[in-house]
Amino acid sequence: MKRNDIYFSIGAALFLAGALLMTQVIGNQYPFFACYVILQFIVLAVAWSILGGYAGYVNFGTSAFFGMGVYTAVFLFKAFGAPLAVQIAAAAAVGALMGFALGFLTLRMQGIYFSIATIALTIIIETTITNWRFVGGASGIQMQRPPVTAPFDSYVQMLFFVQALLVVLAVGIARYIQNSWIGRGLQALKDDELAAECTGVPTLRLKLLACVVSGALMCAAGAPAAMYLQYADPASAFNLNYSVSALAMSLIGGTAHWAGPIIGAILLGSTQQLLTVTISSEVNVLVLGVMLVLFVVAAPEGIIGLIRRVRGNRSEGKT
Amino acid sequence: MFSFELLLDAVVIGVLLGCFYAAVSLGLSISFGLLDVPHVAHPAFLVLASYGVYLLNEHYGIDPLVAGLMITPLFFLFGLAAYRLYYETFERRGTDAGVRGIAFFFGVAFIIEVLIILQFGVDQRSVTAAYVGKAWRLGDMRIPFRLVVAFVVAAALTILLTLYLSKTFMGRAIRAVAQDQEALRLMGANPIRIKQWAFGIATAVLGIAGALLIIVAPVEPTLDRTYIGRTFCVVVMAGLGSMSGTLVAAIILGVAETIVLTLFGASWAPAISFAMLLGVLAVRPQGLFGRRS
């Protein structure tokens, strides 16, 4: 266990060093634009799986949290000219609060009711933002990027590195949760909530915790998006595509292990980037939908499950 | 600014609109309310039906309601196939059916949406018929004819379905399977076949409902997202599976929507059904006419 932790830390440090090196070596801006989106989806998918994968609560409200992150950043920037770090930290706090509120209101609901309630939350928040003039209302708002700080050459490179930091943070948290009593508790309540409650698992508190952590990470992932696009409008910030992407990436990767959502996000994210370059964005969503349905029907455990099955067969062959 | 006439106007329009909402929710009331299928793709099926009606109307000049009747058998078969797939892949395997079932229907909804966009583009589409665009004057009140048509058809549809579920053998079997599947199995009936039939009917109703949808207002591919709120709000508020309850709940929603529309403007409209849904779930999750405690 201890040795695994060390390996994980080394891996995370190498990943960050690689990202930093990339910003120093590569002059072309495009890789950063593309990789930023993939990193963003890794954070969203990992955050989604904390509640959706470990606890089994299907959250359709990823876009509510993401959009809330975007608009927290927009508001702070427009009102106080707050720097990026403050925007992200504030977004995480807002996300945690939102997660708590969502959990408090809805976690006594189960299955489809919880999912529908999260869609409802998304639409209600989107409508409220649409009617809020200060942050641009329905027509959206332009954002002027501030000058970039050293050691980065451009703002996009900085955003890329910031998102890489968020990835490490999200994966670290997800991994910690999975390996600790929290993850085991969530697993227990996913399998049978009543039985878990009866054996003394504090189900409601665990679900609240999962909601808060998941919400904070999603909101934080959304905060830099305003600066990335230099523009924000409710229809795209709260687009349900974020919800279905996070859900699809988690389920396709497999939710049994923290690495699953990462695999799913990298696979689907890069496919989407390739497709957006060559074909229209509708095909993008189509691929996402078809992959989701195929995996849910044919490989319910996701890619992680497929890998485990192959490994299992191999070891069976040996003995 | 706000007068009694305006309120009366809103209530009348709201009742008509509510009947229309009932028509588009009846299918979900069967599939989700009675069969417990997490049918998030219901509104997507609805929009798909609308585009079918549009196609028949645009190319062959068929009246939208007749076109709706024409695609009903197709949708019945479609529903049979959809339930079979859902049953084989999720209900029978049992484990973890909830999460994956919801994700499955969500994915299906997205696929339908995108296929419509690829085929028809993102523009709004509408149908032409003698009664679309005309209005009926009643004193100072102006009642659009398309809403009246929707009202009449919706009322007829609700009555027919209520009668079907309470008077016919198959209808009673459907309600029985909703109550106790195991008991039905012990009596020698095949609950899966009954559920499949019921899901077929729930989907077939969408043929007519889709026709109403495109008669009442122009449709666009992503329209299903707002109707997730409306249909689920109506079905949950009604209390799962109650047909007459569906009508009452839909009228409540319709009146609430038109009143908020007159008071605060159209930009708040999409949130109303979702807010009511959350309210119902928080305060009275068994609905107004709930069958479960």
Tell me A109's DSSP state.
S
Closest CA to B232 of B31, B76, B15: B31
Rounded to the nearest angstrom, the minimum Cα separation between A299 and chain B is 10
Alpha carbons A121 and A118: distance in angstroms, whole number = 5
The reply to whether A20 touches chain B by the CB within 8 Å rule is no
Assess contact for B44 and B113: CB atoms under 8 A: yes
SS3 A142: strand
In sequence order, what are the beta bridge partners of B125? B219
Cβ separation of B38 and A111 shorter than 8 Å? yes
How does B202-217 read in b/e, with b if 16+ C-beta sit within 10 Å? bbbbbbbbbbbbbbbe
Q: Are strands B135-138 and B141-144 parallel, antiparallel or unpaired?
A: antiparallel
A25 within domain boundaries? yes
The reply to whether A189 touches chain B by the CB within 8 Å rule is no
Place of tokens 């919801």: B102
Assess contact for A234 and A134: CB atoms under 8 A: no
A291 within domain boundaries? no
In this structure, how many other beta carbons lie within 10 angstroms of the beta carbon of residue B36? 17
Q: Are strands B141-144 and A141-142 parallel, antiparallel or unpaired?
A: unpaired
SS3 A153: coil
Cβ separation of A115 and B115 shorter than 8 Å? no
Count of pairs with CB atoms under 8 A, one residue in A, one in B? 121
Contacts 24+ apart (CB under 8 A), B155-162: B155/B19, B155/B247, B157/B23, B157/B26, B157/B205, B157/B208, B157/B209, B158/B19, B158/B22, B158/B23, B158/B26, B158/B243, B158/B244, B158/B246, B158/B247, B161/B26, B161/B30, B161/B205, B161/B243, B162/B243, B162/B244
Alpha carbons B83 and B185: distance in angstroms, whole number = 19
Cβ separation of A300 and B117 shorter than 8 Å? no
Cβ separation of B98 and A56 shorter than 8 Å? yes
ipTM of the complex: 0.82
Domain tally, chain A: 1
The reply to whether A235 touches chain B by the CB within 8 Å rule is no
Alpha carbons A4 and A191: distance in angstroms, whole number = 27
Q: What pLDDT score does A315 carry?
A: 66
State both tokens at A226: 């305003």
With contacts defined as CB-CB under 8 Å, which chain A residues touch B118?
282-283, 286
Alpha carbons B73 and A172: distance in angstroms, whole number = 53
Cβ separation of B274 and A120 shorter than 8 Å? yes
Quick one: closest CA in A to B39, which residue? Answer: A112
Q: Where are the domains of chain B?
A: 4-283
A267 within domain boundaries? no
Assess contact for B57 and B64: CB atoms under 8 A: yes
Q: What pLDDT score does B293 carry?
A: 39
Rounded to the nearest angstrom, the minimum Cα separation between B147 and chain A is 26
Closest CA to B12 of B178, B209, B151: B151
Cβ separation of A60 and B106 shorter than 8 Å? yes
At a CB cut-off of 8 Å and minimum separation 6, what does B103 contact?
Answer: A58, A247, A248, A251, A292, A296
Tell me whether residue A312 is exposed, middle or buried, using C-beta atoms within 10 angstroms of its C-beta: 0 to 12, 13 to 18, 19 or more.
Answer: exposed
- Residue ranges, chain A, pLDDT below 50: 319
A218 within domain boundaries? yes
Alpha carbons A236 and B222: distance in angstroms, whole number = 13
A226 within domain boundaries? yes
pLDDT tens string, chain B, 293 residues long: the values are: 557 777 888 888 889 889 999 989 999 988 888 888 888 899 999 999 999 999 998 888 888 888 999 999 999 999 999 999 888 888 777 655 667 888 888 889 989 988 998 888 888 888 887 777 777 777 667 788 888 888 899 889 888 988 998 888 888 888 888 888 778 778 877 888 888 999 999 999 999 999 999 988 888 888 888 898 889 889 888 887 778 888 889 999 999 988 888 888 777 877 888 888 888 887 777 777 765 43
A52 within domain boundaries? yes
Q: What pLDDT score does A117 carry?
A: 86
Contacts 24+ apart (CB under 8 A), A149-152: A151/A20, A151/A23, A151/A24, A152/A23
SS3 B289: coil
Rounded to the nearest angstrom, the minimum Cα separation between A310 and chain B is 21
User: Looking at this protein, which amino acid is placed at residue A61?
Assistant: G
Q: Give the structural domain span for A137.
A: 2-239
Cβ separation of A292 and B98 shorter than 8 Å? no
> Hey, which residues 82-111 in chain A have their CB within 8 Å of chain B?
105-106, 109-111
Cβ separation of A300 and B40 shorter than 8 Å? no
Q: Give phi and psi for A57, each to the nearest 5.
A: -100, 115
Closest CA to B237 of B290, B275, B274, B293: B290
Place of tokens 């079979």: B84
pTM as predicted: 0.87
State both tokens at A165: 């930091």
Alpha carbons A174 and A210: distance in angstroms, whole number = 10
Closest CA to B17 of B215, B150, B136: B150
Number of residues assigned to chain A = 319
A169 within domain boundaries? yes
CATH class of this structure's domain B4-283: mainly alpha
A259 within domain boundaries? no
Rounded to the nearest angstrom, the minimum Cα separation between A73 and chain B is 23
